[in-house]
Amino acid sequence: MNTQLETATLGVAVAEALYGPLGRDDLRRYAQASGDLNPLHLDPDFARQAGFDDVIVHGMLGMAFLGRLLEEAFPANPLRVFRSRFRNIIPLGQSIRCTARLEQRSADSVQVALTAAIGADDTLVIEGSATLGLRPAR
């Protein structure tokens, strides 16, 4: 879905994508690229000692998928502001459904509400917002 930001009705989903399922190799690659080597994301024994069934996905990796959604759906619209809040953990093996809903529009920008959810019940794991320019940066 790639609705024109200039004409879409407020409140509608203007972009949505499903990423994953996320496996151990994804977490290892992200840890190496980001430098986040927290054993909670890499070592099953450590994660179990911390009270989890297995390792959990890096929250910032989940946020990166929201950023990817924006870049893929709106490559010509410069990202001006990007905010997020982590609401729940992302267990290993889950796919992440990322959605952007049009919330506000002005003459030169739009604000979208962002959500990342997992599972059949769409458990909210990340929520946030982004402001995109309606005209390419000059």
Return the SS3 of 3: coil
- H helix intervals, 5-136: 24-34, 44-49, 59-73
What mean pLDDT is predicted for residues 71-99? 96
Q: In whole angstroms, give the CA distance from residue 20 to residue 96.
A: 6
Q: Which domains can be identified in the chain, with CATH numbers?
A: 13-22+58-133 (3.10.129.10)
Confidence band (pLDDT; 50, 70, 90) for 1? very low
pLDDT at 2: 42
pTM of the model: 0.91
Reported as a single tens digit per residue, the pLDDT across 22-73 is 999 999 999 999 999 999 999 999 999 999 999 999 999 999 999 999 999 9
Q: Under a CB-based contact definition with an 8 Å cutoff, are residues 57 and 91 in contact? A: yes
Residue 2 falls in which region: left (phi positive, over 0), alpha (psi -120 to 50) or beta: beta
